[in-house]
Structure formats: structure tokens, C-alpha cells
Structure 1
Amino acid sequence: MSATELTRMDAVLARQKKAFTTAQPEALSVRRDRMDRAIAMLIDHRDDFAKAVSADFGHRSIEQTLMTDILPSVSALKHARKHFEAWSRNEKRKAMFPLGLLGAKAEVRWQPKGVVGVIAPWNFPVGMVMVPMAGVLAAGNRAMIKPSEFTERVSELFAEVVPQYFAEEEMAVFTGGVEVGTAFSKLAFDHLIFTGATSVGKHIMRAAAENLVPVTLELGGKSPTFIGRSANKAKAAQRIAMGKMMNAGQICLAPDYLLVAKEQEDEVIGNVVNSVSAMYPTLLSNDDYTSVVNGRNRERLESYLADAREKGAELIEVNPGNEDFGASNGNKMPLTIVRNVTDDMKVMQDEIFGPILPVMTYSAIDEAIDYVNAHDRPLGLYYFGEDKAEEEKVLTRTISGGVTVNDVLFHNAMEDLPFGGVGPSGMGNYHGLDGFKTFSHPRAVYRQSGMDIASLSGFKPPYGKSTQATLARELKK
């Protein structure tokens, strides 16, 4: 990275911080205007973004990008625009007894933090910039954006269109590779949100720590899918197949592996195969099916399959059209279901992030719960079944960032639910009110009464009868 690029990042950060401070207190109408412009940018350039995503991936349908990147971003911004004034109101809190009786008052004021850095991944390269941007703008912040270098055309499009809608003091984009991303993560933001791999998240957190920048990390992990004995297997398979095949499995919340009762394994696998075949009778020339993003990731996924095969797994390739993927010059891959998996296989160690679906079996649901609890806490967890007692057991005995019951992915689509991970799958939340709070500072304000509270309560020396009376009253069991 050139010294000029580094100097520009430092200069833009300084200008944004100065503009933010100078503008305070900023009218709520200014926040509304920024959200209006963000919505307009997405709608005006929706087809441009969709075409750029497809070019970066090698192929992704226009409809999918509109559904999974543009629509969620616009929805998040509209939800924030509708509610941010209510979210911004001061909250009255109770002053401690007896201070409230003596005229003291307490409240929380939600203040913008200042400048928020946004580091986005390649799998949803528009949505992972603009969905968190709803909370950033609703809270009254400025933003600096580092899109992924793996979706270069999308990054260049952001750099082109953002200045058409926002002054650089409001929102700015920085493109480039690892060096730019590393320097960006070291900037003294007022908050930093990163979406991506857990391994990279550790580096981001270390870099942010140098300036004590608070971070929100949305990372991922191996999201388990419990299929209870009481589940409607056909319906569960349809929903799992949809979630796993969307974006060719390149989703941080994709069902990473199935937990199935031993005697129902064949039935479940058969239903998944049938469901995938119904949605995608062909794959290579099917506009609805997404390519693996690049050759490096395709080779990584192929190495997982080779490793599993060498270690005794059974591989079931779901290739309804009997197409020759080896002869293709692209990176599309069919779904491969992996049976007889063990913990020493890479498919059970790493987040898959592609069209591979391992299947584990259990005799009792407690075995499946114990397995999940013995591993890192995932970003998502899914349960299929009609047994409410079993459902409650799974929900109360496991910990994950979020849960969808009788489907996959959908908790992420709820703007009124917090979205985020726990432990290695992330920290902090955004979406809706939770995003507004993440990108705001809850400032405590206490107003003292006109009375000499310190003397009345015995806090002011010399200590005496009032002090003893306060201690005797408060230090009771």
C-alpha cells in the first residue's frame, strides 16, 4: 500500500471526526436524510450491484443478489428510518432512594459514537456493508468502509457511487487488498464492525486494541442442525436444502452439519437429495445456482472432500443432471453429502462455507446436545421437530448466537431480533434497535437536587450520626 493511500485514510478519518464534533448536536432530520440517500443509492444502482456481484463470483443470479443483498439492506434502512426517532429519546431512570424523593433525577441519553469503520466480507458484499449501515446512520455516525478485495468489482462500484450520494465527511470507501485492510483495522475509529472469518477476527481485535476501539465481530462457525425424531422430514429437508444451496453454501449461517437419529438417517438424506434435485435439476447452466467465489475456495472445498474420503467417509454427490463438473472451466460445485464423519476430518473441524453437508447420527438427543456443547459456540443453531419438550431441551442446554426453529437462516431476517455471535462466532449485536444501541453511547446523566445530600446522608466529613445511620440502614441482609 502506498504512503498516499495511508495518508488519505488518516486524513479522511480526521475530517470525519472534526465534522462530527462540529455538527453536534445534529438534528434528527439529518440522520433521516442520510438514510434516505442510502436507500436511494441502493435502489438506483440495484442492477449495477447485482451485475458486479455476478461478475465477481463467476456467476450469481441477479434475483439472488436483489433478494439477499439489496432487499435486506433497503429493509433494514427503512426499519431504522421508521423507528430511530423513538429509539433516540432520552430514557428516564430511577434515582436511588431516597434521592428521588429529594428532587434528584436520572436519565440515559443515546449519543452517536462518532466515526464507525465497516469491514465487509465477499459472500454478501453489498448487504454486509449496508445492513449494519442502518444502525450506523440511525445512531448519527459517520462511516468509513473497507469492502472485500475478493469482490473487486463490487468494491469499485461502492467507491464510484458512494461519493454521488454522500460527502466524504459523511461516508467514504477504501478499496484494496490485505495491506489496505490491515492499515484500515488499525485506525482510531470510535467503533469498528467486522464480518468475516474467526481467524481474521482475532487479528482485527488485536489491531483495534491498540487504540482501544470497541469492536463488533460477526464471525460464523459450524452451525448445527438438529433433526428431531418428531420432525416432518420432507419439510425439514426442503428448508435445509434451500438454506444450504443458497449462495452455494457460502453463508456464515448456512446449516453446517446435520444431527439425525440413526434410524432416520437414510430417510433424511433421501429427502435432502430429492429437495435439491427439485430446486436444481441442473447446475452448471442453471442461472439460479451460484458459483463458488473463486478457484482457491473451490480447491479448499475439494481438499475437504478428499480428506473425508481418505478417512473413511461416504460421499454422496447430488448431481441430478449427471453433469461433468471436471470438464467445466468455472467454479460451480454440486452439493456433496458426507456420511460416517469423524472429528478428525476437516469437514468437522472448519467452517465449510460451501456446498458440503456432513451428517452425524445420534441415539438420544442428549448425545447431539453434548456434541454441540463440546465445540465452539456457533453463530446459528437450528432445530426441526414437533416435540416441544425436546425443542426446549435443545434451546436451554445449548448456547448460540441465534436460533431458528423448523427452518434455517430466518432469525437473521428479523430486524427486531439482535443478530450476532457468541465467543468464537462473534461478539456484539446489530439489526434494528440493537444495532442502534451498538453504534450509540448510552450517556448517564444525573441531576442533583438543591439540598445538601452529602451532609444529610453522612457522606461528607466529619463522619458522625448521619453516617452511622446511613450505614446501619443500608448494610442489612
Structure 2
Amino acid sequence: MNPPIQHDPALSALFEAQRAASRKDGVVPWAIRADRLKRLSTLVRDNRSAIAAAINDDFGQRSFHETELLEINHVLDGIGHSLQHGRSWMKTTQRSPGYKYWPGQASILPQPLGVVGVVVPWNYPLELSLGPANSAMVAGNRIMIKLSELTPRFGALLAELVARRFDADELCIVNGGVDAGRAFCGLPFDHLLFTGSTAVGHQVMQAASDNLTPVTLELGGKSPAIFGMQAGPGGDYDKAVMRLMIGKTLNAGQTCIAPDYAFIPRGQLDRFIGAARRAIGQFYPSLATTPDYTSIINNRHFARLQALVDDAVQRGAQAWPLSDAASEPARRRFAPVALSSVAAGSTVLEQEIFGPVLPLVEYDDIEEVIAAINARPRPLALYLFESDRKVIARVLGGTLSGGVTINDVFFHVGPDNLPFGGVGASGMGAYHGETGFRTFTHDKPVFRQPTFSLLSWVYPPYGRRAERLLRMPAGASQERMR
């Protein structure tokens, strides 16, 4: 049972100010939405170095280039996409009401929901705060963002930057620990988006249910990678392994869509390990000194990763170091490692890893792989390295996951025209691009009735015209009726 939610007067006052402002808004004009989006973009552009430095300080070592690549650029691209398309997304659209309602007119009026809450994890604090904020903002909403207590320097910086450019009833940042998070999730938002673990997602959904707050949950889970019998683009095996390993080592694997474990054809273990070691050597020639390899966020998570490896080895697994450098607990640099012959029931096969540890599962037939994936909760992502189109079609049709990238990693999350979200235990709902606009919008149906209406034929006292209208087949057209 979750601890009771403690009321926070200051937090409630922020929410009430946003709700009061949102109730006055109605349909927010495009000019206001565009102005907010441009201010958000300027905030990121003008402070990208300070943002990267704050995130680096929170991690102890976080690649500035990865922050640019995976967070700053992605946020700016998303805002640019909203500025390019948002005006068209918010237009009223006409719908055919059907012949029985002729000559009435039907339309859909998109309206902001009101106040949106965003709960942010520590692993990508900029992308996972301002990415959802962009979607909620282009939809015309007011936004409150709760940042993780594990990124305090970034949290303080973003709160300061937002306060300079936005009124608190437009967009505000909330910092604090677990109690503040519980209080935040207990506010009666018009929509709440949470990114984080499945376990905490249960608690968030329970807190939101007290207010009947609709939720979007972006969770995680065990995202598999599959190496087919003909793995790799154009059959280039080393390139396929390199692409998998970049997905496992960017941000030191602390990514919700990172490949969690990999299926490889039986008999290819040595080949895979050799290719993986070459890839790591190319990415990080000196793992101990490179500024490009990110530290684990804190000592607890470092110890958790080591415990996953130790548990697997104690149960009979073999550990394959993928770098000549050893892990450094003092700096929380966890050296990449693969595991083979992992026993069923090992913790590393049950829990989301969230680090540079890669269990390898050997298989004989693709149907065996599909069955194993389907026996687990639905993953957030699935990666397939394969050149055989029939095998690709079989895996796509035979599995269900939040998204799929074929012959690479992560790319299904990049394009703003594609939705991002999980399914089942990996989440519910989606955002990015127009999907994000729709998530934070109420499509209000509007019906306009003219002076004459066919529905008057079914007013009592009922007669032959009413019977004729009610018995018309559903597929009848207006032209035929006339």
C-alpha cells in the first residue's frame, strides 16, 4: 500500500493558479502557442552549454556530445516540428454526420485540456521534461514539471531559466524528493505524463486515479535485440554489433529504450563477443580517461549493476569483459560486460538493467525467440538485425512492442512524425509530434442543426415516415435517400 499523499500548500497554490488561468483561455490562439514555443526554444538554445554542464555535474561525468545529441537537439527539433505544423493541427475539421442526420453539419473542435503535469526521471532530464512540455504547449495547455531529486543541479538551473521566460501560471518547475513527487501526482491535473519505472508507474496511476486524472505512462522493461541468421545491413555483422553496442553504451546504458538483452544464433557467441569488443575499443579507446563515457548516476545504481552481474555469475553465467579497462567504483564508471549461459531466474533476466550489462541468449530457431518474447511483458522497444525480409515480417507480425527499429537502435524514437509510447507493462499512451498534440487535446464534437431536420420525422406520434427512416440500411447514401 502506498503511503498517504501529503498536501503541499505551495504546490497546490501553483496548480490553482494554472487551473484558474487555463479556465479563462478557451481555445488558445496560435499566436500565443507559437510565442510560448519560441520562448521555450530560445531558453534551450541560449543555455545549451550551461544545461550540458549541469547534467554533467549531476552524473559526475556525462558526455557533453551525448547531451547535445540525445537531449538538446531532440528537444529543439521537436519544438521546430510543432512550430511548423501546430497551426494546422489545431484547426476545426469537418466530419460527415451520416445521411440520417442530414442536413445537419458536424465538426471537431480541438481544445486544450487545461493543466498538464509532467513527472521526469533522472536519465534524460532535459528531453523528458521539455519534450512532453512541447507537446502539451503546442496543444495550448498550462504545464507543471516535477524533476527528479537525482539531478538537483539541472533542476535548479531549469527552474531559474523557466522563471525568467514564463509566468508561473504558464509553465513552472517543481523540485523536491519523494514526498514532493507524491504530492505532485496527487494534484487533480487534466492529464499527467510520467516517465520512469514500471513499479513507480503503478503508484503514479493509483495517485492519479483518486482524481480520475487520465495518464500517459512511459515506462520501460526488458527491450530485446534479435540477431537473425542473416544479421546486419547488407550482411555486415560487425556493423550490426557496433550499432547494438552504441545503444547499450550511450549514457552508459541508462536509457529506457536501450537494448536490455540480445538473442544470438547458437554457435555465434565468440564471433559476437569479438565484434562487441572491437566496437567498444573503437568508441572508447581509453575507457578510464575518455570524456565520452558516462558515469552511473549514483553509488546505489552502481552497486545494483554489480549485484546483477555477481548474481548471474554465481548461478553459472560467464562474464565477458568488453573493455580492457576495469570498472571504477569511485568515479562510478561501469565497464561494459556481456553475460552468456545465464541461468533462468537470474535477476539480470528479470529486472530492467539500465546499464552497460548485456545478457546473451543463444537460440536455434526464430520461432523460439518469438515465443520467448511473447512470454514476457510487452517491451518498450524491440531491435531486429536481419536481412531476410520473411524473417523481418514474421517478427514484426508475431510480436507486440512499443516500437521497433530494424538493423539499428533508437531510430523509431527520433522522427517527430512517429508516436512514442509503450504497451502493456511498458506503458500506455504516446506522444511526439501530432500524436503528442492529440494526447493533450480534447477533440470536442460539435453538431449544427439547421431549421429542417430529418430527425423531426421520428417525433411522436410515430408514422410511416419514421418507420421508413429507422429501417434504412446503414450503408444508404444521402444521394439515394434524396
How does the TM-score come out when normalised to structure 1?
Answer: 0.95
Report SS of the residue matched to 1:442: strand
The 5 Å alignment of 1:339-350 reads: 339-350=340-351
Report SS of the residue matched to 2:106: strand
Q: 2:338 maps to which residue?
A: 337
Q: 1:14 maps to which residue?
A: 16
User: What is the CA-CA distance between 1:363 and the residue it aligns to?
Assistant: 0.5
Q: 1:427 maps to which residue?
A: 428
Amino acid at match of 2:152: E
Q: 1:387 maps to which residue?
A: 388
User: What is the CA-CA distance between 1:475 and the residue it aligns to?
Assistant: 8.0
Which whole-Å deviations, capped at 9, do the CAs of 1:6-52 have from their partners, x for residues lacking one? Answer: 11111111111111222333321000000000001111111111111
Q: 2:82 maps to which residue?
A: 80
User: What is the CA-CA distance between 1:233 and the residue it aligns to?
Assistant: 1.5
User: What is the CA-CA distance between 1:471 and the residue it aligns to?
Assistant: 3.6
Report SS of the residue matched to 1:473: coil
Q: 1:302 aligns with which of 306, 311, 317?
A: 306
Q: 273-282 or 436-445: which moved more?
A: 273-282
Q: Distance in 2 between matches of 1:475 and 1:42?
A: 53
User: What is the CA-CA distance between 1:133 and the residue it aligns to?
Assistant: 1.4
Q: 19-28 or 76-85: which moved more?
A: 19-28
User: What is the CA-CA distance between 1:289 and the residue it aligns to?
Assistant: 0.2
Q: 1:91 maps to which residue?
A: 93
Which whole-Å deviations, capped at 9, do the CAs of 1:363-409 have from their partners, x for residues lacking one? Answer: 01000000000001000001111100000000000000000010011
Contact 1:282-1:319 within 8 A present in 2 as well: no
Q: 1:405 maps to which residue?
A: 406
User: What is the CA-CA distance between 1:235 and the residue it aligns to?
Assistant: 1.1
Q: 1:470 maps to which residue?
A: 469
Give the direction of change, closer, same or farther, for the CA distance of 1:475–1:442 in structure 2 (3 Å limit): closer
User: What is the CA-CA distance between 1:319 and the residue it aligns to?
Assistant: 2.1
Q: 1:34 maps to which residue?
A: 36
Report SS of the residue matched to 1:176: coil
Contact 1:233-1:267 within 8 A present in 2 as well: no
Q: Distance in 1 between matches of 2:453 and 2:378?
A: 52
User: What is the CA-CA distance between 1:5 and the residue it aligns to?
Assistant: 8.5
Q: 1:172 maps to which residue?
A: 172
Amino acid at match of 1:119: V
Report SS of the residue matched to 1:263: coil
After superposing on structure 2, the runs of 4+ consecutive aligned residues of structure 1 that deviate more than 6 Å are none
Q: Distance in 1 between matches of 2:383 and 2:315?
A: 27
The 5 Å alignment of 1:321-336 reads: 322-323=325-326, 325=327, 329-336=330-337
Report SS of the residue matched to 1:20: helix
2:198 corresponds to 1:194: no
Q: 235-244 or 17-26: which moved more?
A: 17-26
User: What is the CA-CA distance between 1:307 and the residue it aligns to?
Assistant: 0.6
Q: Distance in 2 between matches of 1:138 and 1:114?
A: 12
Amino acid at match of 1:375: R
Q: Percent same amino acid at aligned positions?
A: 39
Amino acid at match of 1:316: W
Give the direction of change, closer, same or farther, for the CA distance of 1:476–1:249 in structure 2 (3 Å limit): closer
Q: Distance in 2 between matches of 1:251 and 1:31?
A: 31
User: What is the CA-CA distance between 1:210 and the residue it aligns to?
Assistant: 0.6
Q: 1:64 maps to which residue?
A: 66
Q: Distance in 2 between matches of 1:143 and 1:167?
A: 11
Q: 1:210 maps to which residue?
A: 210
Contiguous gaps of at least 5 residues in structure 1? none
Q: 1:226 maps to which residue?
A: 226
User: What is the CA-CA distance between 1:429 and the residue it aligns to?
Assistant: 0.6
Q: Distance in 1 between matches of 2:179 and 2:21?
A: 27
Q: 2:479 maps to which residue?
A: none
Contact 2:273-2:320 within 8 A present in 1 as well: no
Amino acid at match of 1:432: G
Q: Distance in 2 between matches of 1:64 and 1:475?
A: 56
Q: How many residues are matched? A: 468
Q: 3-12 or 28-37: which moved more?
A: 3-12
Amino acid at match of 1:74: L
Contiguous gaps of at least 5 residues in structure 2? 477-482
Q: 145-154 or 461-470: which moved more?
A: 461-470
Report SS of the residue matched to 1:66: helix
Q: 4-13 or 144-153: which moved more?
A: 4-13
Report SS of the residue matched to 1:76: helix
How does the TM-score come out when normalised to structure 2?
Answer: 0.94
